[in-house]
Amino acid sequence: MSTKTENHPSWVQPYLDSTEKQQALYKRTLLIVVLSQIFGGAGLASGITVGALLAKDMLGTDSFSGLPVALLTLGSAGSALIVGYLSDQYGRRFGLAAGFLAGGLGAIGVVLAAVTSNILLLFASLLIYGAGTATNLQARYAGTDLANAKQRATAISIALVSTTFGAVAGPNLVGPMGEFAASIGVPTLAGPFLLGAAAFILAGLMILMFLRHDPLIVAKAIAKRESQNHHLKSETATTAINKKGIIAAATIMVLTQIVMVAIMTMTPIHMGHHGHGLQEVGMVIGFHIGAMYLPSLLTGMLVDKVGRTSMAIAAGSILLAAGFTAAFAPTDSMVVLTVALILLGLGWNIGLISGTTILVDATSLATRAKTQGTIDVLVALSGASGGVLSGVVVAYSSYAALSIAGGVLSLLLIPVVMWSLKKPVVEKQLNQKVGF
């Protein structure tokens, strides 16, 4: 067994020689990710809650109410690619820290745009703010770098559930942050972005200071050493299997993102049209974001035990129920609308964890971070599309039509998942040749 260290930093060698050290680093990484995700969740939720309302106030029309979320998500797309590349080249620590800190600067820009009524600055800042949301999602991968196949979904879920604390607190601090903003001469709707700036910057500094023994660098070194003794597998068959897994994972995450973002984006506008106040909007979105992250531990265990594909199908079914519940909710019923948004968050949660786990299963450590960043770009762009189209659909049709369309769209992931279960022809031929 080779013990050469010239292709990796010297501090990696003790982890190669000790499984106990690997497990200790795995647990330490999860702890740091959990703490950073608490702050990151607050930053993520703060902007989402009032972004559409701020745009409506500055633009004076509902037609472009979905634009802030679209810009935020578009910025998230570009940032996902950059964070993935930086992580692949320099490790998770550098990539995640850079993304969170950029998101904090974007939030500061949004506040300045609101103070100066500068639409162009608002749009540019929302793009940069998207870096924080992209990084908040990419942090879930850090916990899987040193996890085995039976721990991956659970590791992802631990990262996501920790986001709940900040994500639920963010929307419910909309009122107090608005009052604080007004007291210092900042527009009320820009208040939550003050919280977002502090949250993302704190998350970035935490990653930068404490994630010093990088899990991805260690995992790559371990994988490289182990691969030296495994040359008998058919690379062609493995590639075919991996491509199907990557396609299935991308489809699951893209469709769930489109449906979730589209319906969530227009819910505050829909509520405002029917007399609900900012505090009520914050409460409904808070329940929604709680459902996006709080069930993660249970979801992760189910994905590991019940199976990736079964849970992905469950995600599509739940999103269908969410769409129809939102469509037919009485306009004066906070309870039914809250249930719809909880189902929307739950469907997204299951889709994200099952899709992410399938993606990790289908990629090798040599290219995993870069592939994860690329897939997250598609996810972010799909969210941007959902955000833009949601405002147009509601402006020219209705919130009910948007919700029904989203629910029906989510069912498309089922045939893709079923297709991914079929073994590639090349694998069948290989199995016949080697006697499996």
pLDDT at 105 over 80: yes
**pLDDT tier at 62, thresholds 50, 70, 90:** low
Q: How many C-beta atoms lie closer than 10 Å to residue 179's C-beta?
A: 11
How high is the pLDDT of residue 167? 67
**pLDDT tier at 239, thresholds 50, 70, 90:** very low
Residue 283 C-alpha from the chain's centroid? 21
The alpha carbon dihedral of 256, 343, 297, 209 has a sign of positive
Which tokens is 409 given? 């769209």
Lowest-pLDDT range, 125-129, 135-139, 202-206, 269-273?
A: 269-273
pLDDT at 65 over 70: no
Q: What is the mean pLDDT of the chain?
A: 82
- Average confidence (pLDDT) over 279-287: 80
pLDDT at 433 over 50: no
- Average confidence (pLDDT) over 292-299: 86
For 11-226+234-422, CATH gives: 1.20.1250.20
Q: Residue with structure tokens 């769209």?
A: 409
How high is the pLDDT of residue 345? 94
Residue 260 C-alpha from the chain's centroid? 11
Lowest-pLDDT range, 57-61, 175-179, 328-332?
A: 57-61
Over residues 22-41, the pLDDT tens digits come to 888 988 998 998 888 888 87
Whose CA is closest to 357, among 100, 171, 143? 143
- Average confidence (pLDDT) over 244-261: 91
pLDDT at 154 over 80: yes
Percent of the chain with pLDDT over 90: 22
- Average confidence (pLDDT) over 244-254: 91
How high is the pLDDT of residue 323? 92
Contact 81, 374 (CB under 8 A): yes
Check residues 236 and 400 and name the one with the higher pLDDT: 400
Contact 147, 26 (CB under 8 A): yes
Contact 213, 23 (CB under 8 A): no
How high is the pLDDT of residue 279? 73
How high is the pLDDT of residue 382? 82
Check residues 173 and 11 and name the one with the higher pLDDT: 11
How high is the pLDDT of residue 98? 95
Contact 149, 98 (CB under 8 A): no
Lowest-pLDDT range, 48-52, 186-190, 350-354?
A: 48-52
Whose CA is closest to 285, among 69, 60, 75, 64? 69
* Residue ranges of domains in the chain: 11-226+234-422
How high is the pLDDT of residue 318? 95
Calpha distance 436→433 (Å, rounded): 8
